[in-house]
Each structure stands twice: as structure tokens, then as C-alpha cells.
Structure 1
């Protein structure tokens, strides 16, 4: 194979120079992955670039796949992270329909007559979770039109789901007014995080708020525990079954005849008498049915 000519070497050098120049240019134009999230703390993980006003204004309701009756200004408020927890009822069709039926003429602060919206109260977990799901759905749809990756969007959706599940668990353990107080304070605290592109804090418990709002407000469960119920049921079965409308006095104790009630006198005020012969036995010593001479199965 002959050696390359000077012209060929010059051509190769020029091609190599152009390649290096192109690679350097591409490296400058391509953003480095590390600086993409300069404000995100390690615990937050994912940062979402806030949507610009023109994206919000240009997004129609069908694009977000949310209920058509939700007002466009409400959607914009949610996406811009200005929608507060106290207004969550605006995303609940039940409160909307109920409020529409209960509106009445009233006098405003400037002495004008107009339709006054009724005050909305959150009285159950459902009054939080139903509109909260719509709220999260709006956020997820807005995230889907941003530059957020699919994996990051999935992590954000998981954080939303974790918060809803946490509320469900706490609704069993804590009084609802205390849970509502925690929810509204926690919700409003997330608005600042989301304005910075931080969403994963939805999936974390705020220890300080938990201490302030929930501590000392544990529900008082009136239902007996399973072990207590089983013990009570067993105790009832060990006693005689009274007839309807009759008292326990004078009735035969079935617990005595099953060798489970050996206290004399009977704690239930029933008679320790054999159900086989209806006698107490010889002398003053009563005998149960399993020990009755007439039963034919007297124990040794």
C-alpha cells in the first residue's frame, strides 16, 4: 500500500480539525446535566421548570383532561401555584352543585344586593380527597406539557399518591378537625416549593406540623378490640341463655354444666343445677351434666 500524498494528508487533517471543532461546539451548546437542578435539595430529587404564562393561557381544558365545569381561572391559579387549600371545594362538583342550590340574595359590605355564595365547610375526608384528586390531575397535566421527563413525572405522581394515602391512614387515627388543620397548612406550604419546581415534598411528612396539629388529637375508638369482643362473646356463651323478657335469677347456668363456671354462688345469679336430672345431686354438692349419673358418660 502506497504512502498517502501530501494532498491526502492535508485533506485528512482538515477533516479531523472540522470534527474537533464540531464536537467542541456541540459540547458548549449541550447543557450539562448537573447544573440543570441547582436549587434542588438532595431530598427533593426532581425539579420541574415552572410553566410560562403563555403556556397556561394557551392550554384549553380538554388538553388538561379535567372536568369541563372547572373554571379556566381556577385552572390557571392551580398551575401558577396560587390556589390555596381553603379553595379546594371549587374542584368538588358536589360542593359546586350544593352551593348553586343554596345561593341567596344578600347585602354585601358596600350595601349592594347580590347572590351570596354559602360558606363551605370540610366535614369529612371525602370533602378533601375528591377535589384533591382533581387538583393533582391538573398539576400532572401541566407537568406533562413541560420539559419534565416521564420518569420524573412518575415520581411526582407517586408523591401525590403517598400524600393522599397518608391522609386516609391518619383519618382513622386522628380527629378530623385536627387532620383538616394539618392538611391546609401542609397544602399551602407546598405552593412555595412548587413555584421553585420542587414537587416531591408532597410525599414527605412535616414533623413540625404533625406535632402542632395532630399530637394530642387521637380519635377515641368506642368499638371493642377483637380480643375483647372474643372474650365477651365466650363469656356470654358460658352463661345460660335467658328467655326473652325474663331475668337471670332462677335460670340454669349452662357454664356450670359445661365445667366453665365453677364459682359459687354463680356470678350471673343463675342456678348450678344439672340439666340432665335437674337436681343438685347427693347432699349439698351440685353436679354438672357431664358428671350426672344419668348421662352414662360420667368422668372417671
Structure 2
């Protein structure tokens, strides 16, 4: 019986949404739902960027090592931006679930460096792919890439040298003077144009969604619950002792001086007793006789 009673009581509490301190969905405001959807989208494109960066770092897809060598700075920016986005998501989902406005304020603040990181990815990749990409690759191959970097690109793209097997080549088992492999410039240029175009397209496509998330955060942070603010009355509206005395003085002035009535007691003259004795027989004949007793005793009718 005790176990059934406890289960019924727990079921009653859960049905009423009390006891566990959890706000059930029917109590969530529309601002909280908007925040939840917004934070979820931040998680999605942050997770997507991090997955792409991890797969590239571990060289799990075709030509990932080429991107590691040729677009190392873009890869670092993608990794950094994804980490910032996931951190922002953790702060945002914590503040949304706990209905904490200070935490949500931090979430709204973290959206701005994430926005700057997304713009940095898009700007860097767009500028590199659009303005004199072939000359940039010429300079990078001759001055920036090491022998190991050139070897990685040659093995991945199945080429030898930059223009031909005799121009700035890193010798290997497949790359030598009389090899039939072409130079790496054409293949590297085609890969960079395609890869960088995908990067800046995705980055600039995320920008409108991220701006919308910033707008939602700014509009909904203070309305995550029905109550606005922390529920504490501002100091200037708090009632103080001086205010009570001032109001009491105003009431006295409005009503004037009220005198307390005096206590009235029965007269001790014999005339009052004689009148009472004369009226008693009349009352007995008309209504019957009742005995008045002290409080706590039963009043009985005399027969």
C-alpha cells in the first residue's frame, strides 16, 4: 500500500509538472522555442565544420593532404571557427534549459566572434581563389612549400614538378627526369579553384543564418520565461519605513483626529434594578424562562 501510494503521489507531481523543477513543453514561451531552434542550428553548422576539419586533418578523403599543404591557414580557420561555434552552442543550450539570462547573455556575446571567424574563412578563401590564383601557386611552390610539401602534392595529384619533371621537382619513385607524369600546376590549379569555391560558398551561405541567430538571441534572451528580468523589484519602488510614516501622516490629515469611545458600564442605581425586576415576570410569561450562564456551559430551558 505504501509503495502504491508513493507511486500515485509521484505520478500526481509529474502530471502537474512539479517536484522535479522541470518546465514541461506546454509552459515554454515562444521565445524559448525560438532560442532552442536557433541554438540547434548553431550546433548543426558548427558540427559540420568540425567534422570536415577533423577528416581533413586525418587525411581521410581524397586530396585532403593537398588541402593540408596548400590551404593550411583556411583549415586552421575552419577548425577554430567550428570550436567557437560548438562552445557557443554549449553555452546557449545550457542557458535555454536552465532559463538563465546571464548565461544566455554570454551566448549572445559569443555569437559575434563566431561571426567574425565565419567571415574570415569566406574572405580568405574567396580572395585566394579569385585574384591571381595561378601566380600565388607559383610563388608558393617556389618559396613557401618545402620538399616534403611538394612530395605530398606530387603523390596525391600523380604529377611531377611544377611545370614539368625538370622544374623544381622533389625526386621520388614515381617522379624522376624521364617520367611520363605531367607537371603539377594544372592539376593543383584546378583543385584549388574547386576546393576554395566550395569553402567560400558554404561560409557565405552560413552568414545569413548566423545573422538570424544573432537577432533571435538579442530579441529572446530577456523573454526566455514569462517573467521579465530576475523578478526583483527595483530599489526605487521598494517600500521603506519612511514611506510608511509619510503615508500614515497623510491619512491622519485626511481623516482628522479620531477620538476613541469611552467604556460604558451598567448603572448602579436602584432604579435600574427595580425596572429589571418588573420586566422579568412579563418575559417569563411570554417566552419562557432562559438561564444565562457563563461561556462554556450549555443553556437549558426551564420547564
Indicate the TM-score class for this superposition, using the shorter chain for normalisation. Answer: under 0.3
Larger radius of gyration: 2
What's the TM-score, normalizing by structure 2?
Answer: 0.25
TM-score between the two structures when normalised by the length of structure 1:
0.25
Comparing both structures, which one devotes a greater share of its residues to helix?
A: 2
Using CA pairs under 8 Å that are at least 6 residues apart, name the structure with larger relative contact order, 1 or 2: 2
